Structure 1
């Protein structure tokens, strides 16, 4: 009576009797191979560790388990047992079956014994996989990609190993998360891990071997291929560095050349302008010199006006304002009853000049109506008229034509910065 109670309790708790567990290899040998879809009436129990998750996310069960002797698929169209995961050790009881060459246990009742176990994939050659030696088991193998094909339900990758054997790798479109093979290239050396299986519709259904991958990490570049890629990347990077160095070398040469040309140009500008201006004081044909000087200055630095003034008394200056308007040069006399040098006190450089200033700083702030009118008029006249450049400004400078002579000096506008000591020294030398 007690034994019967224990038996009934076992059936109630586990949904099965304490049927003897059969090694998976022996269970597979019991299946007859006389039709594409075969359902035997042989009830059997196997024990093993789950090596692949279900390929379906609905109530369909489609997983693989293996023990030390072999592997087999557990399949049920409507599964309502415990949630199963890779690494679970289980006992599964059901009828043996065959579907297109793949051995199955149909509609199994599953009991979990342990969780989080680890199965090491068996190292297998493509020849052994094709011969069915590892059918239903988790394997790993090496191969070079020789082709890729897409079919409605899956992607297929064809590989070849060093023994010239070929194999087929199946990537189901039902996997979650999806496995991306777009980055696999022909010739890539891969280490592929997955379930060795079959899909065959030709009796006795022993051909059609394939490897079923489970997730993205089942595709991995082999060490050889990684080394080749690292070498290729390194060579590419070195070539990139060489190109960059050549580019910067050329840019540096260009900048040095431009800078040298710029210094020489500024020196030429200031020298020619200084010479043209210096001729004014000693010539009889002053107007002709004015016209020549301002045209030269406009061509070189964009000057549109210059003011030549001389001290007439202690507190007065007279001079000429020379402007270029279009193609014409206009010259008019100016007279001021104030000391124009007063705003420049403390600002004159060693060469008796004020460089790169503006008209307000030079002659602004003095109490003289004529000077104020001139300041307003000149502030509207911009340098660089007719020049084409990206760095035009409106500078105004003042300098004495004769070094150390503060009684005569020139105020002129220009579109470029007179920016280095070398150019200034050329002007006053």
Structure 2
């Protein structure tokens, strides 16, 4: 096998199996963790991740080697909607966010993609990603410590889970180093089993094979409107992943097959996921890491990984094992994952070389961070809007005001961007 293998390259079936399984394992931990936190069947997430990935590959004409999995950006707002309006309404909101994706994709296919970078600049994107991680952190700590009453049993299980994942992430080499979340969950699960913290009756009652448990949305226009702004967060994440995928493969995916096709391939699976009871999907950075490690960029391998995920969704015992996973195990791995999300937001700001001497960048990031981390959840009637949605919405409005002002008074932009010391 001569490396690298291009996205359109073919790999013989037998050698492709371990490569595809590696992609399946890379996405597994994060993909099943999201539905576990939301109270959904993780097997549905596996199925829709696989189906969504196949849709994405078809939409991008099998030119972009990306895998779709459960999005962490929607956890907090879906939990907020679930507590106030019910799970069905929250799923309707997820469908609404997918519709936003599709609308954006259609607009970009007609107008090009340059304007989207102006609407969601790096100073906005990085701050929102930080907010995602920090607003989720309290739930991770709660799960890790036993909920309302501190439990040392829960705490030690969570710390073992976290410790195993950290060791693998920092020191493991090769393929093992690509799956720290999965290995951490397995290690924490084994530790919890030894301490009698696993409810094995859930596994015993689960069939060996069968359909996953689907949940259908209850249509609620308010929920759809509340969750729609979160789509701009995942669109920003999508832009970053598409750029990284292009850098790894030395292709310009923004031009061929085009950002519009890529967003369409992400939006349709998000709509379908909401219709059957799975979390909204997004392109996965974990699988981009596998591409960089193996230098096998073949979309055929990605498609095979998607098929493996779909097949796993029919294994009832696997679903039982996941649903029996003790909360401290989920909490321990969540501490790492949510922290990594927040840190990746700071990395976005650094990599984009955001200049905070520019007062617009400073103001935009500051407002998004303060509103999001400050847990400002403004109710619309009796329907609460999550702090993430509020931060996203206010950031979009604020940046929109900057753009409108520049259109009305172009010379104002130069005045605002002047060095701060000159203004003093």
Query: Structure 1-normalised TM-score?
Result: 0.20
Larger strand proportion, structure 1 or 2?
Answer: 1
Q: Which of the pair has the greater relative contact order for Cα pairs under 8 Å at 6+ separation?
A: 2
Structure with higher Rg: it is 1
Larger helix proportion, structure 1 or 2?
Answer: 2
Query: Structure 2-normalised TM-score?
Result: 0.20
